[in-house]
Amino acid sequence: MGGDFGPRVTVPAAMQALASHSQLHLLLVGDPDKITPLLAKADSAVTGRLQVIPAESVIASDAKPSQAVRNSRGSSMRIALELVKEGHAQACISAGNTGALMGLAKLLLKPLDGIERPALMTVLPHQQKGKTVVLDLGANVEADSAMLVQFAIMGAVMAEDVLAIANPRVALLNIGQEETKGLDSIRDAAAILKASTEINYIGYVEGNDLLTGKTDVLVCDGFTGNVTLKTMEGVVRMFLSLLKSQGEGKKRAWWLKLLGRWIQKRLARRFGHLNPDQYNGACLLGLRGTVIKSHGAANQRAFAAAIEQAEQAVRRQVPERIAARLEAVLPKSD
């Protein structure tokens, strides 16, 4: 029910995901009056793996998270998370109120042993055709050194077990590469990570290396992560829109216009992997269950990508693997 468009986007995205993943089953939690009409044209091969779970209310996207959590009984978001808690579903995907989702997820699914607070993680494509795990993207506006270390461990598990990067490089986002730079929390986390034999810690990385592939895991507090990711998205969107508008000059000959468009298409294909739509879906890591937060503004393709991310996290047993790694690492670093 959530996000800027609600079922108009999430229902077609659900059918798209079901069509491309034959093992996938989806429970659509929300207002049946709004969801059911959108299923009318669906193929029975798809609707057979889809069930509508009615919910009385929806948490508003602008509701204050603490209030939303208090008044959440009967809401689509809470019911979806309860389905995960009770084992009826293995993951919850939402485009709704981020703060409420994090609060409710923490309340209902509980953090893993050794995790103080869950973190929002996403996987970004980089220039070397590989991928970088980035966290926290905004689950926690502040993070002390212990939390940064926990984020680093969770990120390393994601990189190793989901992206299949052997011995993934882990870096802290900072404002310089010298050890003396930055905030106390970052310097203290660096000291702990440096001493750990379980984490391949490579030092500080600066904002300009976000997309260069210098590291496999990039760790920061949620305020910095959110600002950084949104800055990147803003610049990428601006370039893509400039590329698009570039083909629309008035004075050029038709054959020049055609050629121009052809070259721009090639450029857009090359840049397209950085389009925010393609990596939509931030994973709330550190809980006893999988929770994926989609952009509120996600379109059908982007929301389908979020569903696919959930499917992958479940298949790769991300929570279980993080729990196992935490057990191996944390006692030693105490």
Q: Please report, as ranges, the residues that interact with its own copies according to CB under 8 A.
A: 62, 64, 127, 138, 141-142, 173, 175, 178, 180, 182-183, 206-212, 220, 222-224, 226-239, 242-243, 246, 256, 259-260, 263-264, 266-267, 270-271
Query: Shortest gap between Cβ of 220 and its own copies (angstroms)?
Result: 8
Residue with Cβ nearer its own copies (264 or 333): 264
Query: Shortest gap between Cβ of 61 and its own copies (angstroms)?
Result: 10
Residue with Cβ nearer its own copies (28 or 284): 284
Residue with Cβ nearer its own copies (47 or 264): 264
State the DSSP H helix or E strand holding residue 202, giving kind and residue range, or none if neither.
strand 200-205
Residue with Cβ nearer its own copies (16 or 224): 224
Distance CA 31, CA 44 (A): 21
Query: Shortest gap between Cβ of 130 and its own copies (angstroms)?
Result: 14
Q: What interhelical angle do 318-333 and 300-315 show, nearest 10?
A: 60
Residue with Cβ nearer its own copies (173 or 302): 173
Query: Shortest gap between Cβ of 215 and its own copies (angstroms)?
Result: 13
Query: Shortest gap between Cβ of 64 and its own copies (angstroms)?
Result: 6
